[in-house]
Every structure is written in structure tokens, then in C-alpha cells.
Amino acid sequence: MQFDDIAQALDALGARPLHRARVLRHWLQAIPLTQGRRPLDQFLPKPLFEALPALMAEWQGLVQLHTREPAGDGSERLLLTLRDGQSVEAVLLPERSKAWGLCVSSQVGCAVGCGFCMTGTGGLIRQLGSAEILAQVALARTLRPVNKVVFMGMGEPSHNLEVVLQAIQVLGQEGGIGHKNLVFSTVGDERAFERLAQGVVKPALALSLHTTKAELREQLLPRAPRLSPQWLVEQAEAYARASGYPVQYQWTLLDGVNDEEEDAIVELLTGRFGVLNLIPYNQVEGLPFRRPDPEKSRALLRRLHQRGILTKLRDSAGQDVEGGCGQLRARIQAERPV
């Protein structure tokens, strides 16, 4: 189900653009129908108001909460089932000032096939519709006050580009999410850079770089577009300057694989409008990669800082509930099929 289906259903009930915006705000921001600036029963055409409970239940029924697993770091991993029995993950991430971020999925599975990722091992199962992405946010907001949405869950957003961009536009307009708090995370794709720059709502960009070496990148991300790290960084830099939001360069630290590229990182990222996020690998049983020694990761962080690269050392959320894209889904499916 796409956002256009929602819009058409509202139009068929006589909704004008202002009506549509108010209805979407109530759904996406989990505002009860009886609350808000002006009572909806006085604002909407009667048939539309009367149809709303059933309509909203239908939209919300696109994703259902199957499991909610809190982790020791404060994050909460949500396993969500879709109408066709497929499932995806979303993760609630505590932010400052009692607000929460939400990491959403854009696909069931993923075709990029990153060698260190549980989701990548299963390939792409299907695309999510924009309404299914919006429903993840609406559901999460019934649990926590979400003010940030990052597209870093299952799937590669640029492989479902138009759908993700539509969801971003709705979230930035009616969803009450500040544009810089929408984060499009990608392995890099020519068309994505083009389309992001044209959007009415311009999200922040996260680029999964992982290495400065083109050949190693092809091995680690075997079905990502063959674009050199240099070219990717130049495109990301141009978008960051246009949007005003720094790029988040994502770097999953793999022991002995990509944790000794200090000089090349300095050469590639010096003077860039961005921050490098080093994320020590969250080990996955059955995959050959290892998490580096913590002191080695911290030493790399220190040296990069000393050499002028804005760098952060981050943990992927939910380590103790098998965090990392697709791991919760894989474990729960193995234990009790959904």
C-alpha cells in the first residue's frame, strides 16, 4: 500500500488538502481524534470524520507489533509483522531531552548483500510501500515520542527510492519531523544523489563508506553500485553543502579488514562537511568478521581527531538483543515463525 492510496481514500470522502493534512497529522503523530488545535468533528466533512476510525485502523493494520525487546543501552528493538506475513525490524533509540529516534526499514531483506550483515545474507524479499513505512512511524509514536527517523533498518533506501522519498516528504510535512532529523542512509547511488537534491524535503544524508579502497568495498558490498569512495564522498559533500546538513560517514569497523586506514581516511575526508562514525562490528554468528579490540578502536578515534577528522565512536544499538540489521528478525523467525 502506497501513500497515494491513502490520499485517494481521503479524496473520495471529500477531503480538501487542509483536511488531508490534518488527518495525516493525527495519524502520524498519534494524536487522538478528539484532541488537537480545532476539534476534527467541526473541521472535517461529516462522512470523512465518521469514516476516520475505520480508515486509520486499516492504515495502522499495515504493520503490527510482534515483539518489543528493550536492550541494556536503552534502545528498544521492534519486530513488526506485515499483512502478508513478512516481517521487518524498527529500532527505538533514546535521544537527548526525552525524545526518541526511530530506525525504520525500507525493504523486506536487501539486495546489496554486505558480507557482514545478517539482512544481506537473505537477499531482497520485497519492497515496502510508502504507507508501510509511515505506519512504522505511527506505531512507534504510540509507544514513544519520536522526533527523528533514520532509514537505517532493513533494506537499501536507494533501491526503493521513490517510495522512500515519498515517505520522507510526508514525514517532513505532516509527520512533524524536522528535515534535518530525517536521515537517508545509503551505500551510494547516482540516482539517489540526483533525486535527493531535487526534493521539497531534503533529509540529512548518511553514507555507508566502510573503506577508502574501491576493491575492498566491492568485496564487502558486492552488489552496491560500482562507485569509487572518492566519487561518493564528492557527491555526498555537494549534497551536504546544498542541504546544510553534514554527511554522516558510516564505517563499520571490522577487525583486521578496515581498521587500519588512518592515512587514507585523512586524505579522503580532510576539509569535508561531515562526521565519521566508527561503529565497531556487532558480531553475527556464522559470518566471518570480528569486532576489533576496543582499545584499538579508541586509538584510531584519537588519532583521527588529532589529525583534524571529526570522528565519533558509536555502538550499533541493541547489542544485547542481537542488534544489527536483520538479526532480531532472523533469530525470532528461527525460534517461532511469524
- Alpha-carbon torsion (250, 255, 261, 266), positive or negative: positive
CA atoms within 13 A on the CB side of 102: 26
Of 89, 156, 174, 322, the active-site residue reads 89
* Residues 51, 34: Cα–Cα separation, whole Å: 14
Query: Residues with Cβ < 8 Å from 302, sequence gap 6 or more?
Result: none
C-alpha distance from residue 25 to each of 57, 81, 133, 138 (Å):
15, 24, 15, 10
Please, which residue, 183 or 325, has the CB nearer to ligand SF4? 325
Of 110, 114, 117, 325, the active-site residue reads 325
Please, which residue, 94 or 225, has the CB nearer to ligand SF4? 225
* Residues 289, 116: Cα–Cα separation, whole Å: 6
Is 89 designated active site? yes
How are strands ordered across the β-sheet holding 146-151? 63-70, 76-82, 87-94, 100-103, 146-151, 182-186, 204-208, 247-253, 274-280, 311-313
Query: Residues with Cβ < 8 Å from 294, sequence gap 6 or more?
Result: 280
Q: How far is the CB of 314 from ligand SF4 (least distance, A)?
A: 15
Please, which residue, 152 or 240, has the CB nearer to ligand SF4? 152
Which of 30, 222, 238, 44 shows the shortest CA–CA distance to 141? 30
Q: How far is the CB of 184 from ligand SF4 (least distance, A)?
A: 13
Residues that bind ligand SF4 (CB under 6 A): 110, 112-114, 117, 119-120, 154-156, 187, 325
* Residues 75, 321: Cα–Cα separation, whole Å: 10
Please, which residue, 120 or 229, has the CB nearer to ligand SF4? 120
Helices 46-60 and 17-28 meet at what angle, rounded to 10?
40
Is 325 designated active site? yes
Q: How far is the CB of 275 from ligand SF4 (least distance, A)?
A: 19
Q: How far is the CB of 162 from ligand SF4 (least distance, A)?
A: 18
Please, which residue, 120 or 318, has the CB nearer to ligand SF4? 120
Q: How far is the CB of 175 from ligand SF4 (least distance, A)?
A: 23
What are the residue numbers of the active site?
Answer: 89, 325
